[in-house]
Structure 1
């Protein structure tokens, strides 16, 4: 690695992952940032999962700590910023990777479902930014990466909560970028398409009863490049955004999707 993040501190929210055969987006981001020199605070709702990621980072000789937080709780979001400042005195990177899919059309969903989707996909991300951004503003630098979704660009069948909340993440990203640009803070977003992760493939296979390979092959077939991304592909894009290579880029929503954004809206499946 080239040390692009030497001396910096990265907070990866959603840095754990469920069990599966491949690496998740958050874990890949934490490892990628660490390999480039950053000290990493790995945040997850499940402390054991965050611990696993932090241990992997430390096993490679880099700095990492685990922190438990539920981003639907405002006090937990405040605690994320406090934990990083207490440990390392600054925050240079905030990587927001938490999201859930609640399938169903408007008539299928309850008010609780709607609120839950927005609490996790949007409000929790905003709350975390609310407590981290003042530290970045005070130090006059910093970079935020919000993980949105290709589904934020188009409607998908029975995915109104997911597509609407992820579209709002895009708008929030642009608004934050404009508000904090005068303070030297950049805010961008990544919109993954089909990614071979435990959440995207293993969880779907388990829920549907289909073999994992069948699910993975079916998702890959929908990508113009004919193969899915990995968590490492998303992490590499995030590294670009938070490094000095992207010093003049803010307010951008970048599809990392193998060309899937070129397809028509009717071909976008739920869970993108």
Structure 2
């Protein structure tokens, strides 16, 4: 079950954190994975590691906020053969309220987290339509559904990802294009470790435990758990699922009373 043999997948931000786990999981399931990353050296290292372990991966340097770059790259990859899966994972975080978020920071969040997703949708949907269908998976967040303190711009961007997911799923039903999203709560990624080291030097372990317990289940998610859900939603076994947001949140949305 959940085989991606003979499938080609594009994963934006696919060389670190959640994106890395998705790239590795998809490659293990048999997909040819194209890693789209702003950090070319990191993308090449991940692709080399996947290829060395028997998988198939290619690395591509790209800024998802640049539509011309995205359209050109998707066209180049499509020229090699059909693309079956797009995972819109690339994104950046931000801490701040409405009155403490600088315009430059708001614009950056919007440009990457919202426009970046739009650019990839804009580029891939004509290809999917021409090839009889495809699967799109967007990375949203619990912040799209509940209020999170000090996450104004980030929450805005993930709310947009959620509603873009619903719109795309509705608009392309007849084109056999499925579109869903995953909404993780806190996931233990290098970003979390870096945030704690920068914001709470000397208190990393204490603050990690505190953040972990904000999930009712008592811990953060592991990237591989997001990767496993992504694999299911992009597999043929999930062929009856579209237009749905999947909270992967340790009970955060429904059980945090």
- Please state which band the TM-score falls in when normalised by the shorter chain: over 0.9
Residue 133 of structure 1 is aligned with which of 101, 125, 128?
Answer: 125
Q: Matched residues in 2 for 1:79 and 1:52: separation?
A: 23
Q: Look up the match of 2:149.
A: 157
Q: Look up the match of 1:5.
A: 4
Equivalent position SS for 1:65: strand
Q: Look up the match of 2:196.
A: 205
Residues 103 and 186 of structure 1: is their aligned pair in 2 closer, same or farther, counting only changes over 3 Å?
same
TM-score (norm 2): 0.95
2:57 matched to 1:64? Answer: yes
Q: Matched residues in 1 for 2:250 and 2:6: separation?
A: 33
Equivalent position SS for 2:172: helix
Is the contact between residue 15 and residue 23 of structure 2 (CA under 8 Å) also seen in structure 1?
Answer: no
Aligned ranges for residues 66-81 of structure 1 at < 5 Å?
Answer: 66-81=59-74
Residue 237 of structure 1 is aligned with which of 229, 232, 237?
Answer: 229
Q: Look up the match of 1:193.
A: 185
2:114 matched to 1:115? Answer: no
Equivalent position SS for 2:136: strand
Residues 211 and 84 of structure 1: is their aligned pair in 2 closer, same or farther, counting only changes over 3 Å?
farther
Q: Matched residues in 2 for 1:51 and 1:215: separation?
A: 33
Is the contact between residue 104 and residue 159 of structure 1 (CA under 8 Å) also seen in structure 2?
Answer: yes
Q: How many residues align structurally? A: 256
Structure 1: 5+ residue runs without aligned partners?
Answer: 18-23, 268-272
Q: Matched residues in 2 for 1:235 and 1:216: separation?
A: 22
Residue 219 of structure 1 is aligned with which of 211, 223, 231?
Answer: 211
Structure 2: 5+ residue runs without aligned partners?
Answer: none
Equivalent position SS for 1:10: strand
